[in-house]
Structure 1
Amino acid sequence: MNRLRQTRKLKGITLDEVAKDIGITKQALSYYETEEREPKKETWIKLADYYCVPVSYLMGLPSGLVEYIDQLGYLNFEKLHEFIIQWAEDRKIISPKNVSKQFMKVTEELGELAEGINKNDEDKTKDSLGDIMVTLIILAQDLNFDLLDCLNSAYRVIQNRKGKTINGVFVKESDLHE
Structure 2
Amino acid sequence: MNKLREARKIKGLTLKEVAEDTGILENLIGKYEREEREPKKETWIKLSDYYCVPVAYLMGLPSGLVEYIDQLGYLNFEKLHEFIIQWAEDRNMIKPDRLTGLAQLAKVTEELGELSAGINKNDEDKVKDSLGDILVTLIILAQDLNLDLLDCLNSAYRVIQNRKGKTINGVFVKESDLHE
TM-score range normalised by the length of the shorter chain: 0.5 to 0.7
How far 1:115 moved relative to its partner?
0.3
Q: Secondary structure at the match of 2:75?
A: coil
**Structure 2 alignment gaps of length 5 or more:** 1-58, 60-64
Q: Please tell me the residue identity of whatever aligns with 2:91.
A: R
Matching residue of 2:148? 146
Matching residue of 2:88? 88
Q: Please, what TM-score do these two structures have when normalized by structure 1?
A: 0.61
Matching residue of 2:137? 135
Q: What is the percentage of aligned positions where both structures have the same residue?
A: 79
Taking the TM superposition and a 5 Å limit, the aligned residue runs for 1:98-109 are: 98-109=100-111
Q: Secondary structure at the match of 1:75?
A: coil
Q: Please tell me the residue identity of whatever aligns with 1:153.
A: S
How far 1:72 moved relative to its partner?
2.5
Aligned length: 115
How far 1:158 moved relative to its partner?
0.2
**70 and 112 in structure 1: CA distance in 2 versus 1, 3 angstrom threshold:** farther
Matching residue of 1:123? 125
Structure 1 vs Structure 2 CA RMSD:
2.1
Matching residue of 1:112? 114
Matching residue of 1:71? 70
**Structure 1 alignment gaps of length 5 or more:** 1-63
Q: Please, what TM-score do these two structures have when normalized by structure 2?
A: 0.60
**162 and 122 in structure 1: CA distance in 2 versus 1, 3 angstrom threshold:** same
CA distance in 1, matches of 2:69, 2:112: 29
Q: Secondary structure at the match of 2:103?
A: helix
Q: Secondary structure at the match of 1:120?
A: coil
Q: Please tell me the residue identity of whatever aligns with 1:87.
A: W
How far 1:177 moved relative to its partner?
2.9
Q: Please tell me the residue identity of whatever aligns with 1:75.
A: L
Question: Deviations 1:46-90 (Å, cap 9, x if unpaired)?
Answer: xxxxxxxxxxxxxxxxxx9xx966523210000000000000000
CA distance in 1, matches of 2:155, 2:102: 23
